[in-house]
Amino acid sequence: MQKRSIVPIVYILFLMLPIYWLVAMSFKTTNEILSGFSLFPQTFTLENYQVIFTDPTWYWGYINSILYVSVNTVISVAVALPAAYAFSRYRFLGDKQLFFWLLTNRMAPAAVFALPFFQLYSAVGLFDTHLAVALAHCLFNIPLAVWILEGFMGGVPKELDETAYVDGYSFPRFFVSIFLPAIKAGVGVAAFFCFMFSWVELLLAKTLTAVAAKPIAATMTKTASSAGYELGLLAAAGTLTIIPGAIVIYFVRNYIAKGFAMGRV
Amino acid sequence: MKTENQKAWFFVLPVLLLVAFNALIPMMTVVNYSVQETFGDNVFFWQGLDWFEQILRSDRFHAALGRQFLFTFLILIIEVPLGIAIALSMPRKGFWVPVCLVLMALPMLIPWNVVGAMWNIFTLPDIGLLGYFLNHTLGINYDMTQDPIAAWVTIITMDVWHWTSLVVLLSYAGLVSIPDAYYQAAKIDGASNWSVFRYIQLPKMKTVLTIAILLRFMDSFNIYTEPFVLTGGGPGNSTTLLSIDLVKIALGQFDLGPAAAMSLIYFAITLLVSWLFYTLMTKDDQN
């Protein structure tokens, strides 16, 4: 047992090293970074973080990202729930083809869609809004949410539905007060994956925004090119992008692995 | 089993509308561009299938496609066995399980451009932790802005760092679903570690591994942001993968026709290979 735990420990160390370097750099001044190699910050400073928390172009980047990610997660899960229920409980014309078509959208390279998305969302007047990014991310998040939820719903016996109808429940009441609690782990997992893929995606988010809804990731790339090479500032901004993800993982830690394991393939 | 009910269509309608809005309209735009030529001012000329022919014959496309397949092949043969090995050696219960899962999932939740930037500063020859260690402690001459091999090693290592955990999490989910009775029976029969793996653990992990391999294939084949931020496709064109090349043509040179034709060919290849993987990996189930 002891010998075996070497492997995960070494792996986790490997995962943590680049993250450590990013965090360490965020506490250094740009001068110290450029003047040479130091394993720990010599002149420990919070200046980089201070810039981010006081400059609106920086902190609005975070607010924008969190806004469109949340909207996307809510939309994706809300529309995926009834669809997943239909796929798991009923047979209907074209169900298999539809399911497969949904999954193919997960395979489309974002680079393929960047330019047409820009034109489409400009045409409908949504360019540079949070809603545009939230809707665009539905392209890959809805299929994923349907896939995960369908797996979890398949694990709930059909007798539950039938008993509820016999007891006189209407469909909406049954769905909200009996069925949803039965698959709440699935909803958590689906929401987690939607959050994750919307949070980490940059290409579409950057293409669909200019000023008002610009994501934090785009603010970082702009700074990298315009303000010279402010490594300390960039490292601090990068460190802060890890935090929302870490919080979300903590809440679903017991379910993440299960999420895909229950999906069908 | 499932009841036949055509009204179920109403349940899938919202999903259908939202995904169709995002998938069909842009796809039609791409198809539209792919058969036309434009010199700006919104004036278009019918071009037929010329762009497709031009892309399929161009050396530049063949080179990018070759690099893309090499990249995807390398990360799959590293990440899948490594992920299984790590999942096998993880504790099955107790305090350390959630700790391992949270720490391992962390790289997957970092925005992709931050991943690229992070690896960039990690590997800078004089001030990055890894770059300094390789150059000054081990004395290896390592600079990925000059040396294509170093650039390749770096993007592969970055992807292994970024995504091996997906394979670990999925394999682990398959492993914990194996009842203890299976292991006890194997022990009574005096089965070796290898046969426990081959005949009990591997079959149980098959479904989740199929998902893991499919997801890793699709995502690595479509990868753009991380290598773009890390190497910008260089040195030269040595790490210009398909998506990077596509964005260069579409947004850099604004050659909409060829870019659109290339998009469609690219998408078709992704679909075809995913379908092949899927069919091969689920073939035994049908028999």
CB atoms A260 and B111 under 8 Å: no
A27 touches chain B (CB under 8 A): no
| Residue B198 included in any domain | yes
| Residue B117 included in any domain | yes
Question: How many CB contacts within 8 angstroms connect chain A with chain B?
Answer: 269
Q: Mean pLDDT throughout B86-110?
A: 86
CB atoms B263 and A248 under 8 Å: no
pLDDT at A265: 38
Alpha-carbon gap, residue B121 to B134, rounded angstroms: 14
Give the β-pairing of B36-38 and B3-4. Answer: unpaired
Q: Among the ranges A57-71, A130-144, B69-83, B193-207, which has the highest mean pLDDT value?
A: B69-83
Count of helices and strands (H, E) across chain B: 13, 3
Instruction: Tell me the shortest Cα–Cα distance from A261 to chain B, in angstroms.
Output: 6
Q: How confident is the model at residue A258 (pLDDT cuts 50, 70, 90)?
A: low
Residues contacting residue B34 through CB under 8 Å, at least 6 positions apart: B51, B52, B257, B260, B261, B263, B264
Helix (H) or strand (E) holding B78: helix B59-88
**Predicted ipTM?**
0.85
pLDDT at A78: 94
Instruction: Tell me the shortest Cα–Cα distance from A88 to chain B, in angstroms.
Output: 8
Q: What is the pLDDT of residues A182-196, one digit of tens each?
A: 888 888 888 988 998
pLDDT at B287: 45
Q: What is the pLDDT of residues B18-28, one digit of tens each?
A: 888 888 888 88
CB atoms A22 and B118 under 8 Å: yes
pLDDT at A107: 78
Alpha-carbon gap, residue B128 to B195, rounded angstroms: 44
User: Does residue B122 have a pLDDT over 60?
Assistant: yes
| Residue A9 included in any domain | no
Instruction: Tell me the shortest Cα–Cα distance from B176 to chain A, in angstroms.
Output: 10
| Residue B270 included in any domain | yes
| Residue A30 included in any domain | no
Residue A163, domain CATH: 1.10.3720.10
| Residue A21 included in any domain | no
Expressed as residue numbers, the domain containing A131 is 56-218+242-261
Domain count, chain A: 1
User: Does residue A2 have a pLDDT over 70?
Assistant: no
pLDDT at B224: 87
Give Cα B165 distance to the centre of its chain. 13
CB atoms B12 and A98 under 8 Å: yes
| Residue B15 included in any domain | no
User: Which residue of chain A comes nearest to B264, CA vs CA?
Assistant: A112
End-to-end CA distance of chain B: 22
Nearest to A120 among B26, B225, B242 (CB): B26
Residues B3-24 as b or e (16 or more Cβ within 10 Å = b): eeeeebbebbebbbebbebbbe
Alpha-carbon gap, residue B88 to B15, rounded angstroms: 38
User: Does residue A20 have a pLDDT over 70?
Assistant: yes
pTM, two decimals, is 0.86
User: Could you give the C-alpha distances from A167 to A157, A160, B249, in angstroms and in order?
Assistant: 16, 11, 62
User: Which residue of chain B comes nearest to A83, CA vs CA?
Assistant: B12
Q: Mean pLDDT throughout B38-51?
A: 70
A225 touches chain B (CB under 8 A): no
B170 touches chain A (CB under 8 A): yes
Residue B112, domain CATH: 1.10.3720.10
Q: How confident is the model at residue A224 (pLDDT cuts 50, 70, 90)?
A: low
CB atoms A238 and B114 under 8 Å: yes
The size of chain A, in residues, is: 265
Alpha-carbon gap, residue A110 to B266, rounded angstroms: 11
Q: How confident is the model at residue A257 (pLDDT cuts 50, 70, 90)?
A: low
| Residue A23 included in any domain | no
B241 touches chain A (CB under 8 A): no
| Residue B208 included in any domain | yes
3-state secondary structure of B36: strand
| Residue B108 included in any domain | yes
Nearest to B250 among A90, A115, A224 (CB): A115
Q: Mean pLDDT throughout B191-215?
A: 85
Task: Tell me the pLDDT of chain B averaged across its residues.
Answer: 85
The size of chain B, in residues, is: 287
| Residue B32 included in any domain | no
Q: Mean pLDDT throughout A137-158?
A: 88
CB atoms B222 and A89 under 8 Å: no
- Cβ contacts (< 8 Å) between A36 and chain B: which residues? 126-127
CB atoms A256 and B122 under 8 Å: no
Q: Among the ranges A33-47, A53-67, A97-111, which has the highest mean pLDDT value?
A: A53-67
| Residue A256 included in any domain | yes
B77 or B105, which is more confident? B77
User: Which residue of chain A comes nearest to B18, CA vs CA?
Assistant: A138
User: Does residue B45 have a pLDDT over 80?
Assistant: no
Domain count, chain B: 1
User: Could you give the C-alpha distances from A224 to B114, B143, B194, B229, in angstroms and in order?
Assistant: 12, 21, 51, 11
Expressed as residue numbers, the domain containing B140 is 52-286
Handedness of CA A105, B51, B226, B251 (dihedral sign): negative
CB atoms B8 and A112 under 8 Å: no
| Residue B10 included in any domain | no
For A:103-142, CB contacts with B below 8 A are 104-117, 119-120, 135-136, 138-139, 142
- Cβ contacts (< 8 Å) between B208 and chain A: which residues? 260-261
pLDDT at A183: 87
pLDDT at A84: 92
User: Does residue A254 have a pLDDT over 80?
Assistant: no
pLDDT at A15: 93
Alpha-carbon gap, residue A137 to A74, rounded angstroms: 12
